[in-house]
Amino acid sequence: MRKSTLQSTAIIIMTPVIFGIIACCLYVSATLLRILQLRDRFSQYRPLLLISILLGLLAHGFSLYGEMFTESGISLRLPVMGSLIALVMILIILVNSIRHAVDNLFIIVLPVSAAAIWSSHFGHYFYVARPDLDAGLLSHIVFSVLAYSIITIAACQAVLLYIQDKSLRHFSMSIVKSFPPLMTMEALLFQFLMVGLSLLTFSIISGFLFLENIREQRLVHHTIITILAWITFSVLVWGRYKFGWRGGKAAKWTISGFALLLLGYFGSKYVIEIILLND
């Protein structure tokens, strides 16, 4: 009886890891398929690409569920949140790929997502769990995850836009011959930015409304840097409509704002969960 219980426990523990490894393999395979599709310009790779991503999302979801919902409560530790943001990013890009030419984003997002999954299972981190989440905190988390996901997609789009802009200026067309037109790339970037900035605004407001004590919760630096990121994105959007900022300049502003956001959330969370709690 005891042996059977131990075996069942081992299966429950290992299941999220197995699903995580499957998701990583599928994401890496899908990345290679997209690279082959770009190199050979064979459209027949796309159905296989989409199937790989969909199966990867399914495995990713099972893996994340096992990591997030534990006997101790809901885990909000750094790698789990990173894995959650990665899943939402892939889902958003996949939905957008129905109407827009955004498949190139998979080349960046899928390997990063695989790394996030791997880190959530095999990284050594201090365990942080909450027994429950009230409605206010839950709304803040939802807005934050959506905002970070879409702004990260915008940053990936900015990297591709920067490469495309530089290649066109230096007449190196081999790199970007399969990219959509530059104006389409810019339009997609600012669409992602507008949605991401709106969600980030709601995230900041909900944080002030529902977080009990920012100083005691060691969120001062996180809050200040996040507001600086919000200002950066706001200036970029204003510059776009006031002065027509575009191309490499828009890409640089986007990447700068994303770097601040990355530092504000993941940097602060890393310090709190890994450096301070493991001292």
Looking at the domain assignment, is residue 232 inside a domain?
Answer: yes
User: Is residue 92 one of the residues assigned to a domain?
Assistant: no
Burial of 180 (0-12, 13-18, 19+ CB in 10 A): middle
Write out the DSSP string of 119-178.
HHHHS-----EES---HHHHHHHHHHHHHHHHHHHHHHHHHHHHHHHHHHHTT-TTTTTT
Does residue 222 sit within a domain?
yes
Write down the pLDDT at residue 57. 97
* Structural domain harbouring 140: 133-276
Give, for all 279 residues of the chain, the pLDDT tens digit. 455 554 544 444 468 889 999 999 999 999 999 888 877 766 677 889 999 999 999 999 999 998 888 777 788 788 888 999 999 999 999 999 888 889 999 999 999 999 999 988 876 555 555 656 677 778 888 999 999 999 999 999 999 999 888 887 766 656 667 788 888 999 999 999 999 999 999 999 988 887 665 554 556 778 888 999 999 999 999 999 999 898 889 999 999 999 999 988 777 666 665 555 554
Q: What is the pLDDT of residue 240?
A: 93
In this structure, how many other beta carbons lie within 10 angstroms of the beta carbon of residue 3?
7
8 Å CB contact between 81 and 145: yes
Position 158 in a domain: yes
Q: Is residue 56 part of a domain?
A: no
At position 42, the amino acid (one-letter code) is: F
Q: Does 90 map to a domain? A: no
Predicted local confidence at residue 168, as pLDDT: 76
pLDDT of residue 67: 87
The answer to whether residue 171 sits within a structural domain is yes
Query: Can you read off the two tokens belonging to residue 201?
Result: 């605004």
CA distances from 95 to 68, 79, 91 (A): 24, 24, 6
CA distance 196 to 191: 9
**Count of structural domains, the chain:** 1
Query: What is the pLDDT, as a whole number, of residue 150?
Result: 96
pLDDT at position 230, please? 96
Residue at 248 is within a domain: yes
Tokens representing 63 are 């893996």
pLDDT at res. 1: 46
